[in-house]
Structure 1
Amino acid sequence: MTKDIAAQKGKRDSFVSRWGYILACIGSAVGMGNIWMFPSRVSKYGGGSFLLPYFLFVIIIGFSGVIGEMAFGRATRSGPMDAFQKAVESRGWNGRIGKILGAVPVLGSLALAIGYSVVMGWILKYAVGSFTGSTLAPKNVDEFGASFGEMASSFGNNLWQIIGLLLVAVIMIAGISTGIEKVNKVMMPLFFAMFVGLAVYMLFQPGAIDGYRYMFSIDENIKNPVTWVYALGQAFFSLSLAGNGTLIYGSYLRDDENVIGSAWKVALFDTLAAMLAALVIIPAMASAGTSLFDGGPGLMFIHLPNLFKGMPGGTILVIIFFIAVFFAGITSLINLFEAPIATLQEVLHFTRAKAVAVILGIGTLVGLFIQAIVGEWMDAVSIYICPLGAGMAGIMFYWVFGPKFARKELQKGRKRKIGKWLEPMTMVVFCGLTAVVFVLGIVFQGIG
């Protein structure tokens, strides 16, 4: 089996630079959860009381789940279906079982991408509207809410949703090195630069210091189990673990790259993105003398535009904000679509262009019909499919291929020998956490 896997290397497109790969992984991880969910949870669960367990879970998951999916993809040079098949066949079992199981994270990635395409349509409309003036045209929060409600209704935003998918199609047809890698090399640095600029602006607003003080204080919430539950969910889903996106990007990675080194950089920059969003939004709310509203679309499309409208330079602020959010969103959407596209190339031997056309065609058709229920759609996928896919990928790599194989693959490209922490952290802690996330997601009806 090892020889069969090795024989396939060099036949697929790949990332041409280390930072191109890392930025693509960062782009896949940085998304709406960092921007519209993380700040609200920091606010709701006691600032530093939430940050401490969140940082802890990011470290644990980064050095177990993220490294595993990267190495799993690189070892098999394939997407989830073929990767799971190869893992099962390495034990002498029927590979068809692995292929069927691998379809779960592929379908989950497609379903999540379809829901995300609806959100990207909203973002694109607001980004363009920030230049034309329509984004800040409503006079008060009620009018902002009515405007968003109209857009988020059935078939309420068809044009911008289709335009967003066409942009994704152009990037993905170009391939990994000339499409995905190049786009992330531009968009991710710009995203961070724009949010740093927004954070610096908020630093000089009156009352912002109260927001900072709250963010980094610890209160009784640190003892609340619910705080830890949502910190776990935030870390898990923010790092894009689902047995699909990180795995497929790993399949395009060269053997001389250090997976563990790449993983900690992805975890670090994903956390920085979330912190930058919080450093913009929480001080802005404190400056306006308002409490942070519940996370989700309402925060980004209703309350923040209403807040920016009343601030000095609001027109510039809203332009920078929505362009940066667009960069974060489209890089995540590209990653979500890559797993099903690569699967059609591997399983049905479609050309890249044909696979993109089929998957984006399905995404467009289904996405237009779920505009009014996209929240429920995304919740169902994140609660039931994402942790299941991540858990199965962890079991396949760490248990079915086995600890010796996993250690050997993770050691590739790394000069320093991996310590004894690897097996307990990955086989026990991570695989156990995926089960915990799955159960808690059902109990709480979503923790991501």
Structure 2
Amino acid sequence: MKNRDTFSSKIGIVAASAGSAIGLGNIWKFPYMAGKNGGSAFIIIYLIAIILMGYPLVYTEFAMGRRAKTNAVDTFGIIGNKKTWNIVGFIAVLTVFLISTFYMMITGWVIYYFYHSLTGTLYNLSSATDSVMHFKAIFSHMSSSMSIPLIFSMIAIYMTALINSMGIKEGVEKYSKIMMPVLFVLFIFLIGYSATLPGFSKSMHFLFRPDFRLVTPQVIIGAIGQAFFSLSLGMGALITYGSYIAKTENIRQIARQVTLADTIIALFSGLLIFPAVFTYNLEPTAGPSLIFISLPQVFLKMPGGRWFSLLFFLLVIVAAITSMVSMLEILITYVIEKRNWSRKTSTWMVVIATTLGGAVNIAGEGPLSYITVGGRTIFSWLDYLTNNITIPLVAVLTAIIAGWVWQTTRLNKELEIGAASSTKLDHYFNLLLKWVIPPVIVILMIALLLGAES
């Protein structure tokens, strides 16, 4: 691609990359995964996985992207010195497309809840109405419809597309530098409020006092899988953003900052949500329905809960949009470089395709929900396929290609551009990349496919 765009600053790179990693995986999925798997024991394993597996793959994907300076598909062929490896990049891009089709649907749900929090209709129930049934009915009415979630999902995808259509500097970077500080400020404000709730001390115990008797193979599998999901690994997102990083930047430093920001937000999510859960005697294992059915019950009861609700759903929207920007950017970069179309044309072609895929998911959750295969809807199957098969598959092949085909000596040379020479600690992480990460991911995949649910 001629006159290829680049990020203009390290702050912009970190903001955009952290925005890619920080999304529904942190705010929506992390709390219920922690709740489901025993809280603090799960979190400790999650943190170990982030440090020993997540961080090496983050800097590896950045380095591969910067070295190749192209889309996520062709990067693998260039790094592996053989076009056959492009199949790995193709799987990554296909994975992103499939995820984006249901990610836009969930983001649409959040926008719907934000809108009804803003108007007050979300909490418009009589004193005689059972609150649990009220919020279940709202979620059922929304998700079973075709038009309602489609309208709000289209709002989500078109908001995202406007940012992508402006390019890397004027779109992705500029708006990431605005949205990420807003996200952190919202988190700090809401956590400050949560700290005043009676259940805050109990939530601290749940989150930070581990009981390792609760650790099972399923907990370990779930923690590792969540670490990969939350960092946007195995999808080509960081490879794509890496391709826009200048040679003057220190990739390892950027990778550390992105990994740290993602981890902080995941922990923030627990500090935000669990005090309310314990104050009002909800189950921390409530699952995906936590933010759509359980938390609105809390917002209804707590002092100032409706304002808290409004800010909470705004926070989730900001996090979701920053992640959707990275998803669309992977697809847009691929289309631009394969079709030689302009950025605006490529953006809207990607938006049309994603919207059509999103409509299929919405129909599968709504009017066509009776059509299932093996008890799963279209959304459930896509979620299972991407999280349990394609993401870990791309992650393990990325580690193998970088560590064994490209080799860590070449990886180090790329990492040392714009930085100091590699240290003993850096070589240790490279050993993890070659010898630990591939077999662990393979074991994870086998366990999941044999039925150990994460």
Q: Give the TM bin, normalised by the shorter chain.
A: over 0.9
* Match in the other structure for 1:415: 420
Question: For structure 1, which segment, 38-47 or 208-217, has the greater mean C-alpha deviation from structure 2 after superposition?
Answer: 38-47
Aligned to 2:229: 237
**Deviation of residue 353 (structure 1)?**
1.0
- The alignment partner of 1:152 has SS state of helix
Equivalents in 2 of 1:161, 1:223: separation in Å? 38
Q: Any idea what SS the aligned residue of 2:291 has?
A: helix
Alignment partner for residue 431 of structure 1, among 411, 435, 438?
A: 438
Structure-2 separation of matches of 1:22 and 1:105: 22
Deviation at 1:30, TM superposition (A): 1.0
Does the 8 A contact of 1:158 with 1:368 survive in 2? yes
Contact 2:42 2:215 in 1 (8 A): no
TM alignment of 1:153-164, pairs within 5 A = 153=144, 155=146, 156-164=148-156
Alpha-carbon distance between aligned partners in 2 of 1:402 and 1:25, rounded to the nearest angstrom: 25
CA distance in 2, matches of 1:366, 1:222: 39
State how many pairs are aligned.
Answer: 433
Percent of aligned positions with the same letter in both sequences?
30
Inter-CA distance 285–101: structure 2 relative to 1 (3 Å threshold): closer
TM-score between both structures, scaled by the size of structure 2: 0.91
Note the C-alpha offset of 1:433. Answer: 2.9
Instruction: Tell me what 1:4 maps to.
Output: none
Other-structure match for 2:280: 288
Counterpart CA distance in 1 for 2:104 and 2:453 is 20
Question: Are 1:110 and 2:102 an aligned pair?
Answer: no
Separation in 2, partners of 1:148, 1:40: 18
5+ long unaligned stretches in structure 2: 366-377
Which digits, 9 at most, give the CA deviation of each residue in 1:98-127, with x for residues without a partner?
Answer: 333321111111111111011111111112
Write the distance in 1 (CA, Å) between the matches of 2:69 and 2:452: 35
TM-score relative to the length of structure 1: 0.92
Is contact 2:198–2:275 with CA below 8 Å preserved after alignment?
no
Q: Which residue of 1 aligns with 2:134?
A: 143
Q: Pick one of 104, 111, 122 that aligns with 2:109.
A: 122
- In the TM superposition, residue 216 of structure 1 has moved relative to its aligned partner by 1.5
**1:396 matches 2:401:** yes
Q: Aligned in 2, Cα 1:378/1:45: closer, same or farther, shift over 3 Å? A: closer
Deviation at 1:445, TM superposition (A): 6.2
CA distance in 1, matches of 2:8, 2:290: 38
In 2 relative to 1, CA 223–157 (structure 1 residues): closer, same or farther, beyond 3 Å?
Answer: closer
Equivalent residue number for residue 47 of structure 2: 55
Residue 276 of structure 1: how far off its partner (Å): 0.9
Deviation at 1:446, TM superposition (A): 5.0
The answer to whether 1:23 aligns with 2:30 is no
Correspondence for 1:386: 391
Residue 438 of structure 1 aligns with an amino acid whose one-letter code is M
Q: Which amino acid aligns with 1:122?
A: W
Give CA deviations for 1:227-272 in whole Å, capped at 9, x if unaligned: 2221111112111101411110111111111111111111111111
- TM superposition shift of 1:223: 4.2
Alpha-carbon offset, residue 32 of structure 1: 1.4
The answer to whether residue 342 in structure 2 is matched with residue 347 in structure 1 is no
SS of the equivalent of 2:121 reads: coil
Change (3 A) 1:232 1:162: same
Deviation at 1:222, TM superposition (A): 5.1
Indicate the RMSD between aligned Cα atoms, in angstroms: 1.8
Question: 8 Å contact 2:222–2:453 — kept in the other structure?
Answer: no
Residue number in structure 1 paired with 2:65? 73
Structure 1 stretches of 5 or more lacking a match? 1-7
Give the residue type in structure 2 aligned to 1:241. L
Q: Describe the superposition over 1:1-50 as per-residue Cα deviations: whole angstroms up to 9, x where unpaired.
A: xxxxxxx8x83111111011101111111111211222223233333212
Structure 2 residue identity aligned to 1:314: G
SS in 1 for 2:420: coil
